[in-house]
Each structure stands twice: as structure tokens, then as C-alpha cells.
């Protein structure tokens, strides 16, 4: 049993390294786009806020770190959605022994997590030092939120794979789904900016809890009134069970 586990771990590690070597190969600027995309979002929201909403943020949170902690944690989840395409497509790597579509999807997720985890700290550390909010108040909840965000994204990708296999146009809708979640998950706001009467509706979104947890853990001046680690874990476990169930069921249906 231990030998099989170690062999499977080595398979996933090799596939993850393979994915890292070919990361973002569809873009002309390679890894540079991984860095530029979140920076563009952060700069755009900061500029809009400065022009239309004033130069300060809620509860003493510094402007740039406010947006960094709203933008980057969501990338762990929203990029995990992409695993649905891996699970519903063929690959030459499947000809190797012990390699399955699930292995390919998990390995791609691990590679994505490694990239964005490094990117998070490469951006957050110098900016927080510049704005005088380094070190974070509590790094453990931050790490927890990043990992759970990634797990939820991967789980949703597994769940979407079944729908994508029977309805390929779903790929077009995923773009809009991702955009919608970005807008309602704390990219450019925190919950105390929203009227209290809307909180019961917004707090059903686990990604909003993720951004609230990260901001709460980083800034001493901010205490989130809604952040619930237990709710996030429950959502992650539920989505993971759903995703694995869909993936297991779709094994019976051959790829077109």
C-alpha cells in the first residue's frame, strides 16, 4: 500500500513539474502574463477607487494591500476551475502507465497553486513593507484561506468536467461565471462597505469569506464581522465530494 502511494505521489510530482515547465505556453510572454494579469486588476481597481471613491479604504487598511488581498487569493480558486477541460479531454500523457485524467487535472492544479502561492508573497511582501503593514497579524489563517480556496477551485473544476463533456459550449459560459464571482467575492470591496441588509445574501458566497479571512488576518485594524473558517471548510468538503462523484461517474462515458 505504501509503495503504491509513493508511486502515485511520484507520478503527480512529475506531472506537476511538467506543467510548470510548460506553464502559460499559449501566451507570448510566458510567466510574465501570470504576473501582469493580477497587477492590471489591482492597478485598475486602485485607479477607479482613487478617481471615484476617495484615496482611503475601510478600517485603516492600506490601499494597495487592500486590493492585493482581494485579488490574489481568488486566483487560487478561479484558476482551479480550468481542471474541467483537462478531465474532459484526451492527452498523449495518458499513454504512460498509472497516468489518469484525474492525475493530469490534480497536477495542473498543483502547478497553478505553486505559481500563485509564490506570486502572492512576491507581490504582498514588498508592497506591505512599502505601506508599513508588514508582517501580517497572523499568517496561519492566510495560508489556510489560500489552500482552501485552491481546493474549492479544483473541486468545482472536477464537477464542471461532467457537464463540459456532455455540453462542450459550457466553456464559453465559464468565462462569465469566473467574472461574476470576481465581482461578488471581495475583489474591490469588503463586507463592511455593503449595507447590512444585503449581508445574508452575500455571505452564502464562500469566496467572500476567503477574502475576508485574508484581510482580517493581515490587518490588525480590521476585524471581519462575517468571516467563517468553518463555513469555508464545509463548502470545500461539499464541493470536493461533488466533484469526485461527478468524475467517478463520468469514467463510464467515453470521450467523444
pLDDT single digits (tens) 172-213: 788 888 888 888 888 888 899 899 999 999 999 999 999 999
CA 203 – CA 162 distance, rounded (Å): 28
Answer whether residue 126 shows pLDDT above 60.
yes
In a domain, 255, yes or no: no
pLDDT, average across residues 103-122? 87
The number of folded domains in the chain is 1
Domain that holds residue 104: 2-250
Q: How far is CA 240 from CA 157, 206, 223, in A?
A: 10, 14, 29
pLDDT classification of 23: cutoffs 50, 70, 90: low
Which of residues 243 and 162 earns the better pLDDT score?
Answer: 243
Answer whether residue 167 shows pLDDT above 60.
yes
pLDDT, average across residues 51-64? 67
Answer whether residue 34 shows pLDDT above 70.
no
pLDDT of residue 152: 94
pLDDT of residue 26: 46
pLDDT, average across residues 92-102? 74
pLDDT, average across residues 97-103? 77
In a domain, 58, yes or no: yes
In a domain, 256, yes or no: no
pLDDT, average across residues 37-52? 71
In a domain, 142, yes or no: yes
pLDDT of residue 30: 57
pLDDT of residue 160: 86
Cis peptide before 135 (omega within 30 of 0): yes
Percent of the chain scored above 70 by pLDDT? 81
Q: Of 48-62, 133-147, 242-256, where does mean pLDDT reach its minimum?
A: 48-62
pLDDT of residue 36: 72
C-alpha cell at 23: 506553464
CA 194 – CA 216 distance, rounded (Å): 17
pLDDT of residue 164: 81
Under 8 Å between Cβ of 81 and 174: yes
Which of residues 232 and 38 earns the better pLDDT score?
Answer: 232
In a domain, 161, yes or no: yes
pTM equals 0.85
pLDDT, average across residues 110-114? 87
Tell me the range of 69-83, 142-156, 161-175 where mean pLDDT is highest. Answer: 142-156
pLDDT of residue 94: 66
In whole angstroms, how large is the CA radius of gyration of the chain?
Answer: 19
Grid cell 495518458 in the structure block, residue: 94
In a domain, 187, yes or no: yes
pLDDT of residue 53: 58
CA 194 – CA 188 distance, rounded (Å): 12
Answer whether residue 146 shows pLDDT above 90.
yes
Grid cell 467563517 in the structure block, residue: 228
In a domain, 244, yes or no: yes
Q: Which residues contact 184 (CB under 8 A, 6 or more apart)?
A: 202, 205, 208
Answer whether residue 28 shows pLDDT above 50.
no
Percent of the chain scored above 90 by pLDDT? 31
Amino acid at each position: 500500500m505504501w509503495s503504491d502511494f509513493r508511486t502515485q505521489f511520484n507520478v503527480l510530482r512529475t506531472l506537476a513539474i511538467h506543467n510548470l515547465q510548460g506553464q502559460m505556453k499559449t501566451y507570448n510572454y510566458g510567466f510574465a502574463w501570470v504576473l501582469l494579469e493580477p497587477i492590471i486588476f489591482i492597478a485598475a481597481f486602485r485607479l477607479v477607487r482613487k478617481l471615484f471613491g476617495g484615496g482611503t479604504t475601510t478600517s485603516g487598511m492600506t490601499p494597495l494591500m487592500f486590493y492585493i488581498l482581494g485579488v490574489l487569493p481568488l486566483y487560487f480558486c478561479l484558476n482551479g476551475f480550468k481542471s474541467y477541460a483537462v478531465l474532459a479531454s484526451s492527452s498523449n500523457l495518458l499513454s504512460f502507465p498509472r497516468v489518469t485524467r484525474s492525475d493530469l487535472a490534480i497536477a495542473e492544479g498543483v502547478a497553478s497553486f505553486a505559481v500563485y502561492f509564490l506570486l502572492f508573497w512576491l507581490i504582498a511582501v514588498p508592497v506591505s513593507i512599502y505601506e508599513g503593514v508588514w508582517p501580517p497579524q497572523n499568517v496561519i489563517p492566510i495560508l489556510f484561506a489560500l489552500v482552501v480556496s485552491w481546493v474549492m477551485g479544483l473541486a468545482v473544476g472536477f464537477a464542471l468536467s461532467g457537464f463540459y463533456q456532455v455540453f462542450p459550449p459550457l466553456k464559453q459560459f465559464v468565462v462569465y461565471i469566473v467574472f461574476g464571482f470576481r465581482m461578488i467575492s471581495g475583489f474591490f470591496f469588503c463586507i463592511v462597505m455593503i449595507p447590512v441588509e444585503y449581508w445574508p445574501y452575500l455571505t452564502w458566497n464562500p469566496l467572500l469569506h476567503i477574502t475576508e479571512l485574508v484581510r482580517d488576518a493581515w490587518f490588525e485594524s480590521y476585524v471581519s464581522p462575517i468571516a467563517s473558517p468553518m463555513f469555508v471548510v464545509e463548502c470545500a468538503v461539499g464541493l470536493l465530494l461533488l466533484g469526485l462523484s461527478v468524475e467517478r461517474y463520468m469514467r463510464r462515458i467515453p470521450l467523444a
